Amino acid sequence: MNNRLESLDIFRGMTVAGMIIVNNPGSWSIMYPIVRHAKWDGCTFADLIFPFFLYIVGVSIYLAITKYQLSLTTIQIYKKILFRTIILFLLGIILNGFPDYNFSEIRIPGVLQRIAVVYFFSSILFLNFSKNWLGILFFGILVFYTFLFLCIPPPGESLPTMDTEKNIAAYIDRLFLKGHVWKYTKTWDPEGILSTLPSIATSISGILTGYILFENNRSEKSLKKIYTLFAIGIVCIILGLLLNFIFPINKNLWTSSYTLFTSGIACIYLMTFIYFFDIKKIQSISFIKSFFSIFSLNALFLYFISGIFARILNLISIQLDKKEISLKLFLYKKIFGEIPTPLNSLLYSVLFLIVVFIVGLILKKRNIRISP
């Protein structure tokens, strides 16, 4: 199998497009359940997107660092990893603080920050541990994290708990990030400190996928590898659903059941894409590749720009019927009418996505690659 996967680019592009859709509804109050995050326990389509991206990060780490090792020294590779980590983390801080940058209360965690931290530690682990040890680490992290929540009471509590504000992850966020968490949760952060640990396991699952796909590369074994990974994906989903009975699937806590469940689905998605786009090369669905490759080419930059653009739309005020409303609400009402519906809310997201697509298309036409 060729080490250049069109399917991975498509999967990455679809995931970034999904992030933009989910983060930019016309109305937060009226949305289809599929694009709304679960309030606590449970998993919707929206809850699959972030772990999908971290899984893709893992596969990409395998491909990129394996390529680096052909021409760079270990020190040079570490420098590249550190530089990219710092840039990603700073972009996350810039996005969180825009436009006021009140550093006394700026949110420190975030999506880009978590990607940065996961990328850093996953890369270091890949460079220093064998495939077998990475597999042990993957399950070791999940066992440890499960034990932590099911057996260790948070300080101030008599029993272990997964309560929104009383769980051990929330306690650690308050201890180290007080005043610097997401403004809507106030006392804890959905991309907090402790839950970053199992998100690293999600990335490790992507690295292990890379090993199975590309180690001892022989094209005649490609289909066998796809079937093997498809089966592994199903096993992970089943394990996640079984663990759900004692340690519920929960994105905010990135529970072990959630890690297994979403890694399994991500694996199945990627294997399906590899089968259709890399092995069968079905031309009738090539338009999918053309569309989503735009989002893949400058994935994190487009995500960053979409976040800045969304904030600008909310910051600019417009007069409508003697009332001052945001430019976003003005556009939403003018295009989709006064009465919000789930369909209109989703269509606004799609329209927003098309605007970002145009930005990505311009960058591609001008051969501009912005890869933090």
Q: Are residues 61 and 182 in the same domain?
A: yes
Q: Are residues 196 and 210 in the same domain?
A: yes
Are 213 and 278 in contact, with CB atoms under 8 Å apart? no
Q: Taking the complete model, does pTM exceed 0.85, yes or no?
A: yes
Q: What is the pLDDT of residues 36-49, one digit of tens each?
A: 999 999 999 999 99
Q: Residue range 357-366: average pLDDT?
A: 96
pLDDT at 77 over 80: yes
Q: Are residues 141 and 251 in the same domain?
A: yes
Q: Are residues 72 and 179 in the same domain?
A: yes
Residue-range definition of the domain harbouring residue 8: 1-31+283-372
Q: Reduced to 3 DSSP states, what percent helix, strand and coil does the chain have, rounded to the nearest 5?
A: 65, 5, 30
| Band of residue 287 on the pLDDT scale cut at 50, 70, 90 | confident
- pLDDT value at position 286? 78
pLDDT at 2 over 80: no
Are 134 and 207 in contact, with CB atoms under 8 Å apart? yes
Are 346 and 31 in contact, with CB atoms under 8 Å apart? yes
3-state class of 320 per DSSP?
strand
- pLDDT value at position 217? 67
Last residue of a domain, one of 262, 281, 300: 281
Q: What is the pLDDT of residues 207-262, one digit of tens each?
A: 999 999 988 765 545 889 999 999 999 999 999 999 999 999 999 999 999 999 99
- pLDDT value at position 220? 45
Letter string b/e over residues 135-171, b meaning 16 or more CB atoms within 10 A of that residue's CB: bebbeebbeebbebbeeeebeeeeebbbeeebbbbbb
Q: Residue range 116-128: average pLDDT?
A: 98
Q: How far is CA 367 from CA 9, 64, 247, 309, 370, in A?
A: 17, 21, 47, 22, 10
Last residue of a domain, one of 281, 307, 339: 281
Between the CA atoms of 212, 215, 216 and 222, what dihedral angle is there, to the nearest 10 degrees?
A: 40
CA gap 114, 38 in Å, rounded: 20
Last residue of a domain, one of 281, 309, 327: 281
Q: Are residues 304 and 353 in the same domain?
A: yes
